[in-house]
Amino acid sequence: MTPAKQLPDIPEVITDQKAFCTNCNCHHSIPRAPAAHAAMKLMARMDKELKTSYLYGEALGKMFGILLCRSRTGKLVTLKAFSGQYNGNWELKGWVPPLFNVSAFQQLSFPMEKKIKSLGKMAASLPPDSEKYKALLKQRKLLSQQLMRDIHALYTLHNFRGEQRSLTRFFPKGRGIPTGTGDCCAPKLLNHAAIHNLHPLALVEFYWGMANKSATKHEGHLYQACEEKCGPLLGYLLCGSKELSAP
């Protein structure tokens, strides 16, 4: 267990999270400020929620998110998420799941990753200037690219209009999908809320653990969703959220 920490003060001004929606050609937004206190409460009990020592080692820290929602019966619901995997786990009890079926992901990736690693080991035993070496590396690259395409095809995003769309549709052909797209907190939270008919009220993300290598994220600080990976997705995920009627 890590020692008790002095958490940063909540900023006086917290701007809304905004994103452009290609579904209806307009911007959608969701407040961030109302979720800040819930985020601070989660920070205060992080050691009880998770084994946080993982966040202070080689893996460094991680983004976490809180989404305040209201159910159709009027009940206030608080959802929480971590970005990517947590200590090798895609799913943990009490945290929203990823945008894909984990069992299908494992059945797809494990055999292919084993084959890709085998090709790498075979290539490592050969002279770097040999034709066989170059052929093995090319084969490994092609398999890796195909695996990523197959994995991205597993991701399905749901919005509040009852629509769903594959991750691959958010990026033009010929443009690579950034690694980790769809694995951040905001997409996980909004997707889960849409599937379970929860009206999103406020969304906020924070960083916890050792500062990242570029020192752009620090423990206990609030951050907007990333532009590169989340920007193309959030507008669609928020689509229809304003039209939901309050119970």
Tell me, what's the pLDDT at 174? 62
Residue 194 has pLDDT above 60, yes or no: yes
Q: What are phi and psi of 233, to 5 degrees?
A: -105, -35
Distance of alpha carbon 41 from alpha carbon 14, whole angstroms: 17
What are the start-end ranges of the E strands in 2-61?
A: 17-21, 26-30
Predicted confidence (pLDDT) per residue in 96-147, tens digit? 999 999 999 999 999 999 999 999 999 999 998 999 999 999 999 999 999 9
- pLDDT tier, 13 (very low <50, low <70, confident <90, very high otherwise): low
Tell me, what's the pLDDT at 2? 47
- pLDDT tier, 245 (very low <50, low <70, confident <90, very high otherwise): low
Minimum mean pLDDT range among 17-31, 51-65, 131-145, 232-246: 232-246
| Token pair of 13 as six digits | 């001004």
Collapsing DSSP to helix, strand or coil, 29 comes out as strand
The DSSP call for residue 86 is B
What is the DSSP pairing of strand 199-208 with strand 164-166?
unpaired
Tell me, what's the pLDDT at 246? 47
Tell me, what's the pLDDT at 58? 86
Collapsing DSSP to helix, strand or coil, 215 comes out as coil
User: Any alpha helices (H) in the chain, and if so which ranges?
Assistant: 36-44, 46-49, 102-124, 131-152, 185-195, 231-238
pTM of the full predicted structure?
Answer: 0.91
Region 15-23: mean pLDDT is 92
- pLDDT tier, 3 (very low <50, low <70, confident <90, very high otherwise): low
Predicted confidence (pLDDT) per residue in 74-87, tens digit? 999 999 999 999 99
When the pLDDT of each residue in the chain is averaged and rounded to a whole number, the result is 91
Predicted confidence (pLDDT) per residue in 42-83, tens digit? 999 998 889 899 999 888 999 999 999 999 999 999 999 999
